[in-house]
Structure 1
Amino acid sequence: MTELNWKTCSSTYIHKGPWATLRSDKCEMPDGRIVEQYYVLEYPNWANAVALTEDNKVIMVRQYRHAANIVSLEIPGGVIEDGEDPEAGMLRELLEETGYEFDNIELISTIYANPSTANNKTYCYLAKGGKKVQEQSLDEHEELIVEEYTIAEVKQLLADNKIAQALHCTGLFYALMKLDEL
């Protein structure tokens, strides 16, 4: 089998920030060729969930996304904190963003947003049995509206291209498969 892995010879950090870090790697390809500058975005790992209430409604959040200048309909999720277990991070995000607790949570996929330029993973969960136990507890720059949809409505939103976040479309795909809804 042909060797495809590159060897990282050195790394230089160009920018280190709380949400994104940019580094330049010098790499050696398997055939010996040198790539002088390969840019890598380092992000923390993320988690999101297709979250179902006790009455089988899908919890979605609507929020502004500045880089794309859109108001985006998404599944709940966010950054996994340093040292935090992905499932614990997801349960925390669900509680903070929606006010719901879940008694059943299952990892359904682990994906990369863009493995050619970014190094982080996204863990997607299917959460069931959601009960509202508190009001939202949002981060300083977070403003979002919690909405509930039937599974049929979510399928129509996907068919109508109304969910713009690719990672969230992927999570919904895996969840719909798991729920025998495809």
Structure 2
Amino acid sequence: MNMDWKLLSSEYLFKDAWLTARIDTCETPAGKIVAPYYVLEYNNWVNGVALREDGQVIMIRQFRQGVGKTLLEIPGGTMDPTDPDPLFAMKREMLEETGYAFKEWVSLGTIAPNTASSNNYTHMFLATGGVKVQDQQLDHNEDIEVVIMPLEELQQLLLDNKIVHSLHTTCIFYALLYLGKMTMK
């Protein structure tokens, strides 16, 4: 059964480097007109669980204006238009935010942050064998604290619902599953 909507028209309401908003008019297979339907356009994002050579996890702490709180998160960010692929973007973000480079990279998959109203995807990674090779290279609006912790502590933070960024919790779950470390108590 075909459930795809037909796009009848689309108009941009706002365009910026970080956010584009459009209003669509669509038709369902049953002929129902859906209007207005708002869609937010973003570049794709990347995030990753990072492990140093000694197995410790590299986390970051930064203020998040959307929720008005300083949060503990995994490194990640927006893919730049010049990034050739998600792995390149993730390596760039990891180096900029933490100062670490990694020996091995595993793709943990791709998820959609909000399929109802956003058009982008988040590419998730596990990076292992991290070695500090430089100081952080932060953007003008970034103030990021690097936090090092045991993998077991990250697992407990996740189980205690202390990591609240949904895209980050998803990546952490996939990384722990990949590493064979995810257990429910």
State the TM-score, normalized to the length of structure 2: 0.96
Structure-1 residue corresponding to 2:119: 119
The answer to whether the aligner puts 1:38 opposite 2:37 as a matched pair is yes
Which deviations, in whole Å up to 9, do the C-alpha atoms of 1:35-86 show, x marking residues without a partner?
Answer: 1211000011000010110001111000000011011110000001114111
Moved over 2 A (4+): none
Deviation per residue, 1:94-126 (Å, 9 max, x gap)? 000000001111110200111101111000001
Secondary structure of the residue aligned to 1:137 is coil
Unaligned residue ranges in structure 1 (runs of 5+): none
SS in 1 for 2:97: helix
- Residue correspondence of structure 1 range 13-92 to structure 2 within 5 A: 13-84=12-83, 85-92=85-92
Alignment partner of 1:113: what SS?
coil
More displaced, 129-138 or 83-92? 83-92
SS of the equivalent of 1:41 reads: strand
Residue matched to 1:131:
131
Determine helix, strand or coil for the equivalent of 1:118: coil
Q: d(CA) in 2 for partners of 1:103 and 1:156? A: 26
Q: Please tell me whether residue 95 in structure 1 is matched to residue 100 in structure 2.
A: no
Partner residue of 2:146? 146
Query: Is 1:107 matched up with 2:107?
Result: yes
Kindly state the Cα deviation for residue 152 of structure 1 after the two structures are TM-superposed. Answer: 0.6
Amino acid paired to 2:99: G
For residues 133-181 of structure 1, the C-alpha deviation after alignment (integer angstroms, 9 at most, x for no partner) is 0000000100010011111100111122211100000000000000000
Q: Percent identity?
A: 49
* Alpha-carbon distance in structure 1 between the residues aligned to 2:106 and 2:16: 31
So what's the TM-score if we normalise by structure 1?
A: 0.97
Amino acid of the structure 1 residue aligned with 2:43 = P
Counterpart CA distance in 2 for 1:96 and 1:83 is: 16
Separation of aligned partners in 2, 1:6 and 1:167: 27
The alignment's C-alpha RMSD in Å is: 0.8
- Encode CA deviations 1:1-58: one digit per residue, 9 max, x unaligned: x211111111100011111111001111111111121100001100001011000111
In 2: Cα distance, 1:167 partner to 1:71 partner: 16
Aligned residue pairs total 181
> 1:144 is aligned with what amino acid?
I
1:173 has 2:169 as partner: no
What is the SS of the residue equivalent to 1:156?
helix
- CA distance in structure 1 between the partners assigned to 2:155 and 2:113 by the alignment: 22
